[in-house]
Amino acid sequence: MVLTIHSLSNMTTAELEGKRVLVRVDFNVPLENGRISDDSRLEASLPTIQYLIDNHAKVVIISHLGQPKGPTPELSLQPIAERLGVLLGRPVQFVAESVGDLVELAVSKMVNGDVILLENVRFHAGETQNDPGFSQQLASVADLFVQDAFGTAHRAHASTVGVTKYLPSYAGFLIEKEIEFLDGAIKSPKRPFVAIIGGSKVSGKLGILRHLLGKVDVMVIGGAMTYTFLKAQGHSVGKSLWEPEKISEALAFLADAKSSATKVVLPVDHVVVTELKPDAVAVIVDGGDLSDDQMGVDVGPKTVALIEAEIHSAATVLWNGPLGIFEMDAFSIGTFAVAKALALSDALTIVGGGDSAAAIVKAGLADDMTHISTGGGAALEFLEGKTLPGIAALERNNG
């Protein structure tokens, strides 16, 4: 995908002043007992909202939250309006609907620079069905549409794709930034370019491995995926998580890797337990073979040293997927060692994937990365080389 989309960054006050701008953001924030437990997605939306305010637009924000089947009070965006107001340093009016009379009335009363947040668009079934009627209703209160919901850009919904048929549409700053790092850095990286790909299942990651093969100089594979690859090579992996139905694809990948420009690195030692519990007694196994009662839960110290060395000599590092069961402190050593090495590195460091981003935040190292993608599934699809409908729609609409 190339940057031929129309974007907000090229728009001037003359084009925005007094305009009613419908902005789709991703406010799908984690909630714990009705409280927002992580602000990152709100913060990521601020540059676009602030730019619209500064250019005297009327800012009408829409988002989804969770996966409601209809109106669901616990998934109301109301608490987010308050929090957004605090972050922006100005009041944000909440409107308890996303379409209809209430919205029309609220928008008609707006003055330049006002910000309102509409209710969760997924309270209407038309949202996920990408229903033209619902899209049109959303679009009817605005003059322009700005798409900045990167985390939802892989979904063709009414508020991400449908509305672009009815309004001049532009990418916001977050979308632009995500494209710059997830697309630009991969297409024309500073080399050496090292990818570290971990996580749970090989079935979820083969697309990324395939897409990056030949593009990166070094690919380190870690996490549970390791065991499908080791099994494919004829090793015994004990009780580790591995996928029998992916063995042949894993083998084919390793064969293709041999004739590619990419050096593939698999873990050379493992932290193993016989029972998965936080206080399980862990031992280190060298080489590929685990005994029947052992389960690999983290990369071992030699592997950590190997990865640190690769990061040290890299000019670009892309990381997706924790290297162990990092949710348990005892098995988070490999994952946090990588986070630390990335933080200390002078390379361009790009992190994609929900759990990887969470690990970086947990390690307190978020500010030390060049870019942490705000999109979980969207980032993964981008890294697989797929076209995201929410971004493609901006291209088509303005093309």
Q: Which residues bind ligand ADP (CB under 6 A)?
A: 198-200, 204, 223-224, 241, 296-297, 320-322, 324-325, 327, 353-356, 376, 380
Q: Is 354 in the site for Mg ion (CB under 5 A)?
A: yes
Which residue, 322 or 389, is less far from ligand ADP as judged by CB?
322
Cβ 320 to ligand ADP shortest distance, Å: 5
Distance of CA 176 to the CA centre of its chain: 14
Active-site hit among 20, 83, 165, 201: 201
Residue 165 is among the residues annotated as catalytic for this protein: no
Active-site hit among 18, 113, 207, 354: 354
Residue 362 is among the residues annotated as catalytic for this protein: no
Tell me how far apart the alpha carbons of residues 261 and 161 are, in angstroms, rounded to a whole number.
37
297 contact choice in Mg ion, ligand ADP, none (CB below 5 to 8 Å, kind-dependent): ligand ADP
Residue 162 is among the residues annotated as catalytic for this protein: no
Tell me how far apart the alpha carbons of residues 318 and 353 are, in angstroms, rounded to a whole number.
11
Cβ 322 to Mg ion shortest distance, Å: 9
Active-site hit among 113, 204, 207, 377: 377
**Side-chain half-sphere exposure of 74, counting CA atoms within 13 A:** 9
Q: Is 279 helix (H, G, I), strand (E, B) or coil?
A: coil
Residue identified by tokens 């996580």 is: 199
271 contact choice in ligand ADP, Mg ion, none (CB below 5 to 8 Å, kind-dependent): none
ω into 267 cis (within 30 of 0): no
Cβ 323 to Mg ion shortest distance, Å: 13
**Side-chain half-sphere exposure of 109, counting CA atoms within 13 A:** 8
Active-site hit among 19, 24, 41, 231: 41
5 contact choice in ligand ADP, Mg ion, none (CB below 5 to 8 Å, kind-dependent): none
Cβ 112 to ligand ADP shortest distance, Å: 41
SS3 content of the chain, % helix, strand, coil (to 5): 45, 15, 40
Segments in 213-285 forming alpha helices (H)? 225-232, 247-258
For helices 40-54 and 78-88, the axis angle rounded to 10 degrees is 60
The site string for Mg ion over 301-340 (x = CB under 5 A, - otherwise) reads ----------------------------------------
Cβ 285 to ligand ADP shortest distance, Å: 12
356 contact choice in Mg ion, ligand ADP, none (CB below 5 to 8 Å, kind-dependent): ligand ADP
Cβ 325 to ligand ADP shortest distance, Å: 4
Q: Is 355 in the site for Mg ion (CB under 5 A)?
A: yes
Q: Is 145 helix (H, G, I), strand (E, B) or coil?
A: strand
Taking CA atoms, 240 is separated from 201, 291, 355, in Å, by 11, 10, 20
Which stretch, 14-22, 156-164, 293-301, 352-360, contacts Mg ion (CB under 5 A)? 352-360
Residue 151 is among the residues annotated as catalytic for this protein: no
Segments in the chain forming alpha helices (H)? 13-16, 40-54, 78-88, 101-108, 125-128, 132-139, 173-179, 185-187, 202-212, 225-232, 247-258, 301-312, 333-344, 354-362, 377-383, 389-398
Which residue, 114 or 355, is less far from Mg ion as judged by CB?
355
Q: Is 381 in the site for Mg ion (CB under 5 A)?
A: no
Which residue, 85 or 204, is less far from ligand ADP as judged by CB?
204
Q: Are 25 and 151 in contact (CB under 8 A)?
A: no
238 contact choice in Mg ion, ligand ADP, none (CB below 5 to 8 Å, kind-dependent): none
Which residue, 23 or 224, is less far from Mg ion as judged by CB?
224
Tokens coding 69: 């089947």
Give me the residues that bind Mg ion (CB under 5 A), please: 354-355
Positions marked active-site: 41, 201, 354, 377
